[in-house]
Amino acid sequence: MTPQESRPKTEALFARAVSVIPGGIYGHMSPAHSIPEAAPYFAERAEGCRYWDIDGREFIDFMCGFGTMILGYAHAEIESVAAAQRARGNCFNHPTQHFVELAEELTSRIDFASWAVFGKNGSDMTTWSIQVAREATGRKKILMVRGAYHGVDAWCTPGHGGLIPEDRLHVHSFCWNDAVDFKAALDRYRGEIAAVIITPFHHPAFGQSDMPEEGFIETIESSCREQEIVFILDDIRAGFRLHTGGSHRFFGFDPDISCFCKALGNGYPISSAVGREALRVPASKVFLTGSYWNNAVPMAVAKACLRILDRDRVIDHLDAMGRRLIDGLLEVSRRYGIEITASGPPALPYITFAEDRSFRLMQRFCRACMEQGVFFHPHHNWFLSAAHHETDIDQAIDAAELAFSRLNHEN
Ligand code: PMP
């Protein structure tokens, strides 16, 4: 069956999109970044860990809105908190009580933090944090890990369009887990570095996830303290998936600022940066606002989301479901003589096929899974949610088994 026959509404809507939207669907959700002939393009509705595209195709979702849906879609408690606040109002001239209560909640659960601010997207917070670091230190340079993703702003976007060399003039990179390379960068720009920004483990797209080696983050942390550099943790992807107090607790280190987003609002737009007392004054000097940044609904939801994460021990569940998925995939792949590797924490696993530099095998595997109603991404880490249960995982493993057997037949 051609895509037109199997998903007529998708094809028709995409043709309309292309004529009125540059690229049709842009950014990381572009079908060009997934598997154009098989991937869903437009969602229609979702519930729990499943969603339906506009052609009515059902998928078990292992991307969870690129990490936002930690409790699952249409979560009854979250939706009732949202509805109650929406009935009272969402966007006002002023913040609401939730603004203060959410800041209280975050500063009490995140051990090093004595203040919090809010935005909408992750990029809002990473970009603001480096400005705070520049304000605090009076220095220009930012050190980041080569290949790390921190958002769409000019200093860090992986894109190329519309940039000028000056955008990156003061942004320099070092290799993950390479303390020697980090120290060399530190020496090269001694006295000029405002901030070092890292993710809690390295999770590049198109590459295996890499956990921090013993001592690597400690080296960064102690060097930052010694040289009065602001140490920023971009916990946007992993935050509240590994530890309810932030991923630095999971790995055992102490940043000066942490940025959160995805898991904070279960799909409602909210991000946050939290920081140390010593940065309170510089933080107050860096202008921070946006048309919708004080909206009440996402803040009410975020409070509820954090409470549910604790109450339902969601992090343990994500870990258990992730392990079940990985173990199942490893076992069935072995049965078909196919070598795959799982990297990163089980709650956000990244799967690769051996000798698959062009991602051809991974794409064929994901396509076969999508055809059976399981949405795996071919080159981005996946996400588990509280709404994934054993039966969903087992259904996905069955689909994977058929996909592995097809790969074998096609070879
Ligand atoms: N940092 C990391 C580690 C991320 O994963 C993301 C989003 N994928 C961002 C920053 C940017 O967040 P946003 O897309 O919400 O701006």
Contact 126 CB / ligand 1 (< 6 Å):
yes
Say what percent of the chain tops pLDDT 70: 99
Residue of the CA atom closest to atom 10 of ligand 1: 150
Q: Which of 26, 123, 379 to mutate to test the pocket of ligand 1 (most atoms within 8 A of CB)?
A: 123
pLDDT of residue 409: 82
Q: Which of 28, 150, 257, 381 to mutate to test the pocket of ligand 1 (most atoms within 8 A of CB)?
A: 150
**DSSP structural state of residue 31:** G
Q: Which of 66, 202, 236 to mutate to test the pocket of ligand 1 (most atoms within 8 A of CB)?
A: 236
| Range name among 2-6, 57-61, 324-328 with the lowest pLDDT average | 2-6
Confidence label for 33 from pLDDT (cuts 50, 70 and 90): confident
**Size (the chain), residues:** 411
Q: How far is the CA of 69 from the centre of ligand 1 (A)?
A: 14
Q: What are the phi and psi torsion angles at 341 (to 5°)?
A: -125, 140
pLDDT of residue 5: 79
Alpha helices in 111-150 (DSSP H): 122-137
pLDDT of residue 327: 98
Contact 202 CB / ligand 1 (< 6 Å):
no
Confidence label for 111 from pLDDT (cuts 50, 70 and 90): very high
- The mean per-residue pLDDT over the stretch 329-333 comes to 98
Atom of ligand 1 nearest to the CA of 238: 3
Residue of the CA atom closest to atom 12 of ligand 1: 122
pLDDT of residue 251: 98
Strand order from edge to edge, sheet including 374-375: 43-47, 50-53, 58-61, 374-375
The structure tokens listed for 124 are 């809002």
Contact 237 CB / ligand 1 (< 6 Å):
yes
Contact 121 CB / ligand 1 (< 6 Å):
yes
**Contact, 374 vs 60, CB < 8 A?**
yes
Confidence label for 83 from pLDDT (cuts 50, 70 and 90): very high
Rounded to whole angstroms, the Cα distance separating 89 from 245 reads 30
Residue entry with tokens 């598997």: 35
Q: How far is the CA of 118 from the centre of ligand 1 (A)?
A: 15
φ/ψ bin of 86: left (φ > 0), alpha (ψ from -120 to 50), beta (otherwise): alpha
The type of residue at 347 is: A
pLDDT of residue 110: 98
- The mean per-residue pLDDT over the stretch 341-367 comes to 95
| Range name among 3-12, 283-292, 353-362 with the lowest pLDDT average | 3-12
